Amino acid sequence: MRDPETVVREFCAAWSRRNVDELLAYFTADAVYHNIPVTPVTGHDGIRELLNMFAPTAEAAEFEILNLVSRGNLVFTERVDRFTMNGRTVALPVAGVFEIRDGKIAAWRDYFDFATWQRQVA
């Protein structure tokens, strides 16, 4: 079984392929994904719905990990998430917290400034 840090690094790298099924395979069946400014989603169906809003619709995606710290099953990341959408690149500074259980993501919380996202996609 992969250690929590490896799981998160591989998950972040997988975003560049923008394959929702691949991304979803990183989550436990009962996982919770919470983009803190919006309502959390639970389970594969809810997470798939949210991932479908970004991964396949983006022309490109990259999660650049600036810093990563792990302790036990918790992994904290400081990232810049970049998406190219409609020819425009959106760069979003993010602090993310991942809880790993049995080699999969059981909880993922991202903290970011929603106004920064809105300004870039408007």
**CATH code of the domain containing 19:** 3.10.450.50
What is the spatial distance between Cα 92 and Cα 14, in angstroms, rounded to a whole number? 17
What is the spatial distance between Cα 2 and Cα 13, in angstroms, rounded to a whole number? 15
For residues 15-39, average pLDDT:
96
Task: Give residue 102's pLDDT.
Answer: 97
Candidates 13, 120, 18; CA nearest to 64 is 13
Residue 21 pLDDT greater than 80, yes or no: yes
Residue 122 pLDDT greater than 80, yes or no: no
**Is residue 96 within 8 Å of residue 20, measured between CB atoms?**
no
Model pTM? 0.94
Q: Which is higher by pLDDT, 116 or 24?
A: 24
Residue 87 pLDDT greater than 90, yes or no: no
Domain hosting 44: range is 4-121
User: Structural domain tally of the chain?
Assistant: 1
For residues 68-73, average pLDDT:
98
What is the spatial distance between Cα 33 and Cα 41, in angstroms, rounded to a whole number? 5
For residues 75-91, average pLDDT:
93
